[in-house]
Amino acid sequence: MWKAHLCQLQKEVEWSALQEFVLRCSIYYATKRSAWYSKRMWVNAYSYFIRPVGSTSMWPHTTDEPPLPPVLRKMPGRPRKLRIKHVTERVNAYQEWKNALIVINTAKKMS
């Protein structure tokens, strides 16, 4: 019985020690001033001059073929609402339209 209580007490002490360690580390990192943000590092980073690239008219001409544009491909998007029907399942569009006209005409005659 007392061993279980002692074990639970030891776990609580370890947990509180871990919490204290994390708290101390976070306070240290929050108050620490990094050397990367110093004036000396800023001057070193921006001390080099980058020359702008001229327009294509200033580029040297070559006899090589110009590169081809990338191949066009269908981009991923929303899936189709209806599945693509097999050739044997497809209905003739004219037959579908003709059937629709018959239904409309019979509905007009009934009213």
Number of domains forming the structure of the chain:
1
Helix then strand then coil, % of the chain, to nearest 5: 55, 0, 45
Quote the CA–CA distance of 90 and 24 in Å, as a whole number.
72
Q: 51 is in which domain, residue-wise?
A: 1-110
Instruction: Please work out, in degrees rounded to the nearest 5, the angle formed at the alpha carbon of residue 84 by the alpha carbons of 78 and 86.
Output: 165
Computed over its alpha carbons, how large is the radius of gyration of the chain?
38
- pTM above the 0.85 mark? no
Q: How many residues does the chain have?
A: 111
Q: What is the pLDDT of residue 14?
A: 66
Q: CA 87, 89, 95, 101: dihedral to nearest 10 degrees?
A: -140
CB-based burial label for 40 (10 Å; 0-12, 13-18, 19+): exposed
User: Average pLDDT over the chain, rounded to whole?
Assistant: 74
Quote the CA–CA distance of 41 and 61 in Å, as a whole number.
40
Helix (H) or strand (E) holding 8: helix 2-31
pLDDT tens across 33-77, in order? 778 878 999 899 888 887 777 788 888 888 999 889 999 988 888
